[in-house]
Chain A
Amino acid sequence: EAQVTQNPRYLITVTGKKLTVTCSQNMNHEYMSWYRQDPGLGLRQIYYSMNVEVTDKGDVPEGYKVSRKEKRNFPLILESPSPNQTSLYFCASSPKGSEQFFGPGTRLTVL
């Protein structure tokens, strides 16, 4: 089944404790992206990647890191999480960037 998977689905952590949210797709898509969704603010793009070893900032990259060492994986790293990063995070993949397919989401709470 073609899909985008994210892990973990739910995470509660404390301020400053480094964490990684994994994202994997099995559709051989070139493009992958991370978004956060907050009430009243909608979906905002954090980082995106057009291909392996190529990453670019989205609208809200501060406090986040990404890497794209393999085509199928695009992990999101929070080196020192803060409470304002409490949000619902979505990973997405696409053949070229237009038709994006989203994962199920990761709900992160930073205390």
Chain B
Amino acid sequence: QKEVEQDPGPLSVPEGAIVSLNCTYSNSAFQYFMWYRQYSRKGPELLMYTYSSGNKEDGRFTAQVDKSSKYISLFIRDSQPSDSATYLCAMLGDDYKLSFGAGTTVTVRA
């Protein structure tokens, strides 16, 4: 079993819809939780970064971490065609090794 599980999708939504992405994990030592966005042929770009449990909002993006359930989520409100990309969750523990989910490919249809 992988340390971080993420549904690869693909996920297709109409413009303006809410995109909901999630990851589950098995390592209780993870303390830092991140979401990256990766456009085709580009490097991953950090979107959201959360330490421990809780919610964090940045514009149209909301990240949630539930450490008791070992579950993290990313919500994108009012989705735009420019949000079409692969979204990767990532987690870091005390050993400073970063573990990624497989990534979910999202397409926002105009």
Given contacts A42-B88, A42-B103, A43-B88, contact A100 B43 (CB under 8 A): no
B53 CB to closest chain A CB (Å) equals 16
Using Cβ atoms and an 8 Å threshold, which residues of chain A touch B78?
none
A4 vs B49: C-alpha distance when bound (angstroms): 19
Contact with B along A61-95 (1 / 0, CB 8 A): 00000000000000000000000000000100000
Q: Name the residue of chain B whose CB is nearest to the CB of A97.
A: B96
Specify which chain B residues have a CB less than 8 angstroms from the CB of A100 in the assembled complex: 34, 46, 90, 98
CB contacts (< 8 Å) of A44 on chain B: these are 100
User: With A and B bound together, what is the CA distance between A43 and B2 in angstroms?
Assistant: 13
Known: A42-B88, A90-B43. 6 other contacts (CB 8 A): A35-B100, A42-B100, A42-B102, A45-B97, A97-B98, A104-B42
Q: For the complex, what is the distance from the CA of A4 to the CA of B42, rounded to whole Å?
A: 13
Point out the residues of chain A lying under 8 angstroms from B100, CB to CB.
35, 42-44
- Decide if B96 touches A102 in the complex (CB within 8 Å): no
Q: How large is the interface on B (under 10, 10 to 19, 20 to 34, 35 or more residues)?
A: 20 to 34
Residue pair B49, A58 in contact (C-beta under 8 Å):
no
The answer to whether A102 and B43 have CB atoms under 8 Å apart is yes
- Asked if B98 and A33 make an inter-chain contact with CB atoms under 8 angstroms apart, the answer reads yes
Task: Please tell me if the beta carbons of A43 and B44 are within 8 angstroms of each other in the complex.
Answer: yes
Given the complex, which residues of A lie within 8 Å of B97, measured CB to CB? 45, 48, 56, 58-59
**Does the CB pair A31–B96 fall under 8 Å?**
yes
Between B44, B51, B98, the greatest number of chain A beta carbons within 10 A of the residue's beta carbon is seen for B98
Question: Least Cβ distance of A99 to chain B in Å?
Answer: 5
A12 to chain B: which residues have CB within 8 Å? none
CB<8 Å pairs between A and B, sample of 6? A43-B44, A43-B88, A45-B98, A59-B97, A90-B43, A104-B43
Q: How far is the CA of A99 from the CA of B97 in the complex (A)?
A: 12
- Smallest CB-CB separation from A102: which chain B residue? B43
CA A42 – CA B97 in complex, angstroms? 15
